[in-house]
Chain A
């Protein structure tokens, strides 16, 4: 089955700086790669996703890059703000969130220092 590795487990950055979280996956059949943000006491919420026919996707301060050959993808957050503090999860799936479920990484606790 799929295995998703996520690094780092904790990331502390100064407000206004950029944050990068990296993930690798093992199953070459995976084609859908979402990123979820989880705040304390809440369920994960999708912030951005990318499919294998695209190498990069951007939404305001958030961007995701995908390298299918190397089987890795990354989340980039620019101009970080205090409200970006949360746990971020990467995930992978052969088709999409609704087809057969997601395999998640272990999460990154992002801390934005004022």
Chain B
């Protein structure tokens, strides 16, 4: 398996634009997580899904953030409208049951 695949790897956008980050979890995994990493706040859990169902989105910072998982092999994290303070590295991770969570390579988002 190629691991957790995220796209794009880098995204530069202007303030106010919509940004969509994509994630393909490891085949067979039933949990998917979105994390955000910044120097100030470290790694923060934004939202997670079990069997494609959102379980806890209490980490989503604002209503501008939304996430979907239409099927077991794909998830998106959308920011609309984007702001400079959204600049961060966004990681997707997946796991099976209570086992190890595998992380993708991340998407580095820069909002100018």
Contacts and interface: CB of A to CB of B under 8 A. Distances in A.
B55 A49 contact: no
Contacts of A97: 31, 93, 95, 98-101
A32 B91 contact: no
Interface of A: 32, 34, 36, 41-46, 49, 89, 95-107
Contact of B101 (A41, A46, A103): A46
Contacts of B42: 89, 104-107
A42 B105 contact: yes
A32 B95 CA distance: 14
Interface in B37-90: 42-45, 48, 50, 55-56
B101 A102 contact: yes
A31 to B, nearest CB: 9
A98 B105 contact: no
Contacts of A104: 42-44
A42 B56 CA distance: 26
